[in-house]
Amino acid sequence: MVICIVQKDIGIEISRFCTLNNYTVLGGFSKFLSFIKREFPQANLIFGWCDLRYANGQGYEKTGFSFVKDILNWAWTDFNDVYTQLSEDDERKSIEAEYAQEMNLVQIYDAGQRLYLKQLN
């Protein structure tokens, strides 16, 4: 099982949670939540994003997380490479679509992500 958490000002973010293919850790997510509560007693909330390409969020819901919102993810492609961001420059982002058109890039979408939140205290 691989877990990555990030402590932020607003709480604990589950950045990654996965197991090897064809392996299951029974109660692994619940055990992980118990670890968070024990090791980070000052944390008021925990949140995580479910990648809807691979899961549906039932693990979050079964452990008491609340659905917050869905977001649609997209990227640009030239059918050889995929670009998730065309520019780090804020001014350029405002005209990203025009830039993509100049570069003959096409926008593609994936299944999106779902945000879940759980109050700890």
Residue 17 CA to residue 15 CA, distance in Å, equals 7
The candidate with the shortest Cα–Cα distance to 118, out of 72, 57, 73, is 57
What is the CB neighbour count within 10 angstroms for residue 67? 13
As for how many domains the chain has, the answer is 1
- Token output for 113: 């992500």
**Residue 96 has what pLDDT?**
77
Low-confidence residues of the chain: pLDDT under 50:
1
**Residue 90 has what pLDDT?**
55
**Residue 87 has what pLDDT?**
53
Q: How far is CA 27 from CA 11, 35, 43, in A?
A: 23, 12, 22
For the stretch 4-32, pLDDT in tens is 666 667 788 888 777 788 888 888 888 88
The candidate with the shortest Cα–Cα distance to 59, out of 32, 41, 35, is 32
**Residue 10 has what pLDDT?**
75
**Residue 57 has what pLDDT?**
93
Domain that includes residue 104, residue range = 2-119
**Residue 100 has what pLDDT?**
84
Q: Name the strand (E) or helix (H) holding 54.
A: none
Longest dimension (CA), the chain: 53
The chain-wide mean pLDDT, for the chain, equals 83
- Token output for 120: 């700890």
What is the CB neighbour count within 10 angstroms for residue 114? 19
